[in-house]
Structure 1
């Protein structure tokens, strides 16, 4: 697990710290990155490292169901990783987008470039796609 800061246990007990957990899928078909907390400039390095760990799988699913916030620095890391992974013949997909993260992806237009699923289970099953490219 790449975990620079524990989600939900910030200084003074304040919520919002960022954590990412790398979970290989049995059989090696994919790697799931489970994000939690708030993804801002302080969390991009652990996310970047986790994305690099999953590069060899060919498919990375980023589970955003525990993500309460994502700023432009987090979005940029995801977009750059998507391009790099696609150039290598892989896929980077998202699951579990919820407000306000979903709204930020919609407003910026980034929502349309990712395949997005309601849940990680649906992504792994290849069904329930919300749309995107």
Structure 2
């Protein structure tokens, strides 16, 4: 069962619990005990959502929730997702990014990714999502065309 701390400013930490209730912080990707840490600086004028850990079917809903809440708290729906700490992403993670992208575009905004690793970039290229989910070396680069 996932343990979700709902405060964005302190980050959201998804941790699987063993049968004894003990936190399994380093659970392997092959188990259902995934770990994802999501953090957002709520005071930033240009929000960056940082992900660390595994983005999969168990953790993707929390990423969508945090991104939607971040969009709604801003006058313009621009958000960069920093993936430097992400070491696993499956199709559920890609689907979350597509849903967030479509939602942002409908509101006149965008989601951009930064600091993707080689594997994730290859997945985006193979699936044809690289054109829609634009990737940048840094968050500063991703926000370069925003006033």
Normalising by structure 2, we get a TM-score of 0.73
1:33-112 alignment to 2 at 5 Å?
A: 33-56=49-72, 57=74, 58-112=77-131
Structure 2 residue runs of 5 or longer lacking an equivalent are: 1-10, 17-22, 30-34
Q: Which secondary structure does the structure 2 equivalent of 1:48 belong to?
A: helix
More helix by share: 1
Aligned to 1:129: none
Structure 1 residue runs of 5 or longer lacking an equivalent are: 127-133
**Out of 19, 22, 40, which is 2:40 matched to?**
22
| Pairwise CA distance, 1:15 | 5.6
Answer yes or no: is the 8 Å Cα contact 1:31–1:60 preserved in 2. Answer: yes
Normalising by structure 1, we get a TM-score of 0.80
- State the number of aligned residues: 122
Q: Tell which structure's C-alpha radius of gyration is larger.
A: 2
- 1:20-77: per-residue Cα shift (whole Å, max 9, x none)? 1122463x3x211101111110111210111111112221101011111111111111
